[in-house]
Amino acid sequence: MAANTATPDDVLIGRIAAGDKLAMQVLFARHHVRVYRFVLRLVRNEANAEDLISEVFLDVWRQAGRFEGRSSVSTWLLSIARFKALSSLRKKTDAELDEEVAESIEDDGDSPEVTIQKKDKASAIRECLNHLSTEHREIVDLVYYHEKSVEEASQILGIPENTVKTRLFYARKRLSDLLKTAGIDRGWP
């Protein structure tokens, strides 16, 4: 990586690789909220997400010297975070999964339309996003909330770019249907 093309994040990674704790603090301050929100959307548990964020940035501290710059630092961080989150989800016991399924069963007291009317539009969109499959929710999260390109999403998820495009197409279609069912006129924000 040439010195004149290095981004501020690339410079921080170089300093972290040299053991610069202040550079680590700056990188953490710059990216922890975005990475936390990404992990939280995957694991859906604040305490677990906090633990995973600590692990992500500990890995950055340990592996900064191995960062090759083939992607942006934020893409690298989200890749590490995704791996940690998916590993965490795989470790859940059946009892935790059963409890999670029980908690996700909606109350039949209000119809979906009445429930949506009680919430603002942003809340309704988040609710609809929760009804997408994990693969579709990940794609929407990366592309729209983290503003990652198809290429960057491909790197983070470890899947071909065409698969990203296909998932994004079906995720938008499904989300549009969910939003219409929820009574939101515009299919996409």
Res 146 pLDDT > 50: yes
| 1-93 against 108-183: fold identical | no
Task: Write down the pLDDT at residue 21.
Answer: 92
Show the 3-state SS of the chain: CCHHHCCHHHHHHHHHHCCCHHHHHHHHHHHHHHHHHHHHHHHCCHHHHHHHHHHHHHHHHHHHHHCCCCCCHHHHHHHHHHHHHHHHHHHCCHHHHHHHHHHHCCCCCCCHHHHHHHCCHHHHHHHHHHCCCHHHHHHHHHHHHCCCCHHHHHHHHCCCHHHHHHHHHHHHHHHHHHHHHCCCCCCCC
Task: Write down the pLDDT at residue 31.
Answer: 94
Q: Which CATH architecture has domain 1-93?
A: Orthogonal Bundle (1.10)
Q: Which CATH architecture has domain 108-183?
A: Orthogonal Bundle (1.10)
Q: Please, what's the largest Cα pairwise distance for the chain?
A: 61
Task: Write down the pLDDT at residue 15.
Answer: 94
Task: Write down the pLDDT at residue 108.
Answer: 52
Distance CA 122, CA 116 (A): 10
pLDDT band at 189 (very low <50, low <70, confident <90, very high): very low
Task: Write down the pLDDT at residue 125.
Answer: 75
The residue ranking higher by pLDDT, 15 or 121, is 15
Is the overall model pTM greater than 0.85, yes or no?
no
86-143 pLDDT tens trace: 888 887 654 455 566 656 655 555 555 554 455 567 777 777 888 888 888 888 888 8
Q: Where are the domains of the chain?
A: 1-93, 108-183
Task: Write down the pLDDT at residue 116.
Answer: 47
Res 152 pLDDT > 70: yes
22-68 pLDDT tens trace: 999 999 999 999 999 999 988 888 999 999 999 999 999 999 999 88
1-11 pLDDT tens trace: 444 577 899 99
